[in-house]
Every structure is written in structure tokens, then in C-alpha cells.
Structure 1
């Protein structure tokens, strides 16, 4: 049976389906932008603190493996290696200690998010830097209080 035998209702329905398909294609996201979106002042300040923390830890003998490891559970600011230990670093900064300071902002909920993010990234880091063997892993923090950094080793460990 030829589609033209159905007449006008068939043609109108086919045209409606074609228009809908064109709308769906136009609504799909296109290629990513060539330039990243502008970063906010707080994000730029965070970038400066992360860079300072990476330099501080590198000067103390740690080797940088990765930065800003994001997954759906959270973000790990720095992944570093100290001997055979994977060191996951959280960088926090506060202008003043009015609300407990930078170290106090790493509460139990933040630690749980970091542990979930670490579970997400640990297999990949182990494959890339430990030939697949799971390394011992600990969480450190570099906190900036009033612009001065402090390295807190072993804030918590991954069992």
C-alpha cells in the first residue's frame, strides 16, 4: 500500500512527526564551548590556595598525581603520593576563625563525602600509579587561616 493512498491525514501526521524530530534535534546540547566559563572570585581564590598547597606539599617531598578529582559524590582537591601511601588532600581557607576556622569546616559530613569520592577514584589511581595494587590511603588537609598555611597530616584514614 502506497502512503499517498492514505491521503491528507497521513501526510499531516508525517509532517508533524518530522517537525517534532527537528525540534528535538535543535534542543539537544551542541558541542562544548571552546573556552571554559568564567570562574567566580571565590573559585579563583580557591585555585590560588590549591596551588599554594600543592607547592607546600611538593616542597615537603610529596609528588602530585592529580588535581580536582570530581565524581558524583564530591571532589578531592589534590591526590599526592608519599612513599607507598596515597595522600588525598582537602584544601580549606578561612579569613578568620569566627566559626571555628578552616580545619573545623571538615566535619563528619564532609569526611563522608570525601571518603565516597575516594572510593570512586581509588581503583583508577591504583591502576595508574601502583600497578593495580591498592595503596594505603590517608586524608590530609592544608588549611589557610589568615593567609598562612598549615599542613594537617592524617586528618582521617580510609580503612
Structure 2
């Protein structure tokens, strides 16, 4: 191994350590006891309300909550549920008015692709935690609120 190769390896390892430390600092920001929780906008609070209502609806139908608001670079999955041996990724959408197609119509191809990428990111971890490593059957559901009325769409979309 040459000196240049060794120096490059050390620089790469140091850069990786710095990135990991930065991620840890970023992750611990919200958990500091002296820091108040971040303020939520009225729209975010409305979204929280709809997610909670969707969760109540799905739990009443027999599903079990595994995780909420799983985030990665690809996107966010609102709710991850279990129905028997099926892993269910749930998108929650709400619209006050239906004149542009309603809440279900707002889950277009791009949103479906983002949800699929986020699900692919989280699937190995969820399988490890809840299915002993074996990848389960999975589906994408949606709970949509049109003018405040919830509707559960089982199998809202499928991947090609």
C-alpha cells in the first residue's frame, strides 16, 4: 500500500466519521430536554389530526400499528400497519373540496413512485423487526378524507 493510498483511506474514513457525527447531532436536536418541540403549522396540525383519525379507523378494522411517519430521502410513509401476515403501507390524504378530483385523485403516479421507493427503503428493516427477516406480502392502502368523511381504500394502487 502506498502512502497516497493510505492517506486517501484515512481521509475517507475521517469524512465518514464526520458525516455520522453530523447525522447524530441532527437526530438528537429534537430530543434535547431544554429545547421545546418544534412548532407545527396549522396545515401540519390538520394533517396530524387526519392521521390520528385514520389510525383509529384502521385499528377499529383490526389492523395493528407498526410505525408512523417513516421518513427517508425518497419520501415519507404516514402509517405502517399489519393485517394478518400482510404489511400495509398507508397514505393519508385529505381535501376540503372535491372539485379537483378529491383526496384519492391527489395520489398520482409520482406520489405512488415516491411511496414505493420509501417502502423499498424500509421493507428490510420492517421484515427484520416484525417477520423474522422474511419479506412479507405488502400492499399500499390509502385513507382519504373528502370534506371530512373518511374512506379506506384497500389496495389503493399496485406496483407494476
Q: Which bracket does the TM-score occupy, shorter chain normalised?
A: 0.7 to 0.9
Maintained 8 Å contact 1:137/1:157: no
Give 1:112-123 correspondences, 5 Å limit.
112-123=113-124
Distance 2:129 2:77 in 1: 17
Q: CA deviation at 1:98?
A: 1.5
Does structure 1 residue 86 correspond to structure 2 residue 87? yes
Q: CA deviation at 1:155?
A: 1.1
CA RMSD of aligned residues (A): 1.7
Moved over 3 A (4+): 28-31
Give 1:46-57 correspondences, 5 Å limit.
46-57=47-58
Gaps of 5+ in 1: 1-27
Distance 2:138 2:118 in 1: 13
Give 1:17-36 correspondences, 5 Å limit.
32=29, 34-36=35-37
1:107 equivalent in structure 2: 108
2:61 equivalent in structure 1: 60
Normalised by the size of structure 1, how large is the TM-score?
A: 0.79
1:150 equivalent in structure 2: 151
Cα-to-partner distance string for 1:110-158 (whole Å, 9 max, x where unaligned): 0000000000000010011001010010000000001010000001235
Gaps of 5+ in 2: 1-21
Shifted more, 149-158 versus 82-91: the winner is: 149-158
Distance 2:90 2:145 in 1: 13
Structure (1 or 2) with the larger CA radius of gyration: 1
Count of equivalent residues: 132
